[in-house]
Chain A
């Protein structure tokens, strides 16, 4: 254990700080369909290696050697001053790593650069109404016709489908193969005729997701990534990246900080919320959990720097992190009392209703990206080497 940073790393931190001070008036946040100023900020970040840091130059990245510590320093410094860290959409976080891993040279050259720069927006077509946790049972079919596939079926939980230019999609290309071997991972434009997007409104009141319907959608076979029938294995590489994204301890720490500030500033009957022993105790319970997951994250970081598998300490991050975020929002609502149920704009609303929004949205994150129950199966089977549920004879 030695948590100090070397002089080289402290020097790098200084560089990042100088950059952030110099460009303070250019901070522009993320949006699904970025404005020109946001695209400019993104390009600036890539030029300086603060976004797309380890993506090779020939594909439009900065081309630095992977250095987890520098990546962390960048994250810390951007968080510290509240600077937008560049785009974190599904194209960048999931498609780009997948293409780098299994894409053809032509696919990498064509898609990675524009995706990184925010010029091409993607959506993810994985889940279906009948294929959620059992994703491999997906039924959207792609029938071969000359140089094309003709796609029919539907997808659900497709965030950003309405704004996306392109989709990376799982389709069944080999109907007679065993279920894991019949899937292909394919890229095609959302402007292709036969695609219909319907917003899916959730309990938050907004449509964070969509349903997407395909009726005889004709797309070129050249969009297949990683080989025909290999889609399940390609997708698993991508899901690994998604699970890393859900349960980021820095975001959780920031939320706890906001909770404690809220409890110090809000009063009921003239008493600060933090001075209520019950609420104070609950806040301390959550602080212990936040610190625990933060240190667990440092431990995982050290393991990945050494090229070691993080084992159990890595397997539990999604389950524990998403639940913890949800619990922090829950305590904020409880401590606010009746004010905690306000949601729409009004004179008594706190934090623009974000505690309620987070409380509801985070329940979706507990379910999405592999439900809590699927996570427990993974922890038990991969982490504790416990047996799988026996398959039913009919399945």
Chain B
């Protein structure tokens, strides 16, 4: 019985953090946010050198052959750095292919995904979080028709993982005939979203019942991203509270401020174990995977919102300025919360998974 991450995993995370410090410092993130057409190719190239796009892809297909826990630790580091990178799509497509792809599909797609050359976008929002504005994709005779919103990295992706309205999963090449894409801009400018329109688009079906695994992996990575972003917000709030002086003393010596920091830490630290467990269960305790992924997504989102707000407040007026840049973490947490289902929606699914709700 060992509930901890290994020394290798810790080293990987630290080394990734150093890579991100060099490749995606806040100044680089700001440029990505300011220029909506910029793809962030240099950041992705640095992460590809690291092997990150293929973190869970088997070695025979050019990946690192690690597990979702390793991917979650990486997502935590990306969240800490508010780094722009199409990582969620890479892992989701890896899961879709390894769990639901034929040997031929795996051989055709996985090496490209592992090298970072094939960027994958995730278009399962309607099937998981519900359809809005007439969206939803219908599959018929190997072709897709309809629309998908909140597709990750829609404008730069080469490949999409698309869920249809009956829960089937499909691979769609970005250059497939009948597919059009456009930008959707969210509050979080460190990530790119888009809208896809399908007009009889040829698609490759994946095995039935693959959607749940893709969803669980994506939920876990979003939770890990929030964990990382929220850690940084607490660190920044504590550092500021120890330095900022008012009424002749550092504000961190006032219990009103100190207790805000303690409450943030008390809420967030146990989330780490929840995220670890959900990621572990994905590979090693499949019966618990969906429930723990749902709770990780929903609970970390709730805690993330509390921390995003409280850490900003600890900074006083400076907290809301662009100069400080704290809002990048605030908004990152905000998108993670809503994407693929807000907490209420995800908890409803958690109840359904246990047979507690219809």
Contacts and interface: CB of A to CB of B under 8 A. Distances in A.
Contacts of A293: 270
A320 B69 contact: no
Nearest to B296: A288
Interface in A311-356: 312-313, 315-316, 319-320
Contacts of B274: 288, 291-292, 295-296
Contacts of B356: 260, 264, 274, 280, 283
Interface in B187-219: none
B348 to A, nearest CB: 7
B133 to A, nearest CB: 24
A336 to B, nearest CB: 17
A24 B258 CA distance: 51
A3 B280 contact: yes
Contact of B266 (A2, A274, A319): A319
A390 interface: yes
Interface of A: 1-5, 9, 69, 72, 260, 264, 274-275, 277, 280-281, 283-285, 287-289, 291-293, 295-296, 298-299, 301-303, 306, 312-313, 315-316, 319-320, 373, 375-377, 379-381, 383-390
B287 interface: no
Interface stretch (B92-100, B165-173, B246-254): B246-254
A321 to B, nearest CB: 10
Nearest to B357: A280
A316 B273 contact: no
A351 B68 CA distance: 43
B238 A9 contact: no
| 4 smallest beta-carbon distances between A and B, as pairs | A295-B273, A288-B299, A376-B262, A284-B347
Given A284-B347, A288-B295, A296 B273 contact: yes
B3 A302 contact: yes
A388 B253 contact: yes
B292 interface: yes
Given A377-B262, A380-B259, A384-B238, A313 B270 contact: yes
Nearest to B274: A292
A155 B334 CA distance: 50
Given A1-B276, A376-B266, A295 B255 contact: no
A244 to B, nearest CB: 16
B3 A1 contact: yes
B3 A299 contact: yes
Contacts of A299: 3-4, 272-273, 276
Nearest to B271: A292
B347 A281 contact: yes
A287 B259 contact: no
A293 B324 CA distance: 34
Interface in B237-288: 238, 241-242, 249-250, 252-255, 258-259, 261-263, 265-267, 269-274, 276-277, 280, 284-285
- Of B4, B270, B276, B351, chain A has the most CB atoms within 10 Å of the CB of B270
B259 A373 contact: yes
A264 B354 CA distance: 12
Interface string B324-345: 0000000000000000000010
Nearest to A295: B273
B5 interface: yes
Given A292-B273, A390-B249, A379 B266 contact: yes
27 contacts: A1-B276, A1-B277, A3-B3, A3-B284, A274-B357, A277-B357, A280-B347, A281-B348, A283-B356, A288-B350, A291-B292, A295-B3, A295-B276, A296-B273, A298-B1, A298-B273, A298-B277, A313-B269, A313-B270, A320-B267, A376-B259, A376-B262, A377-B262, A384-B238, A386-B241, A386-B253, A387-B252
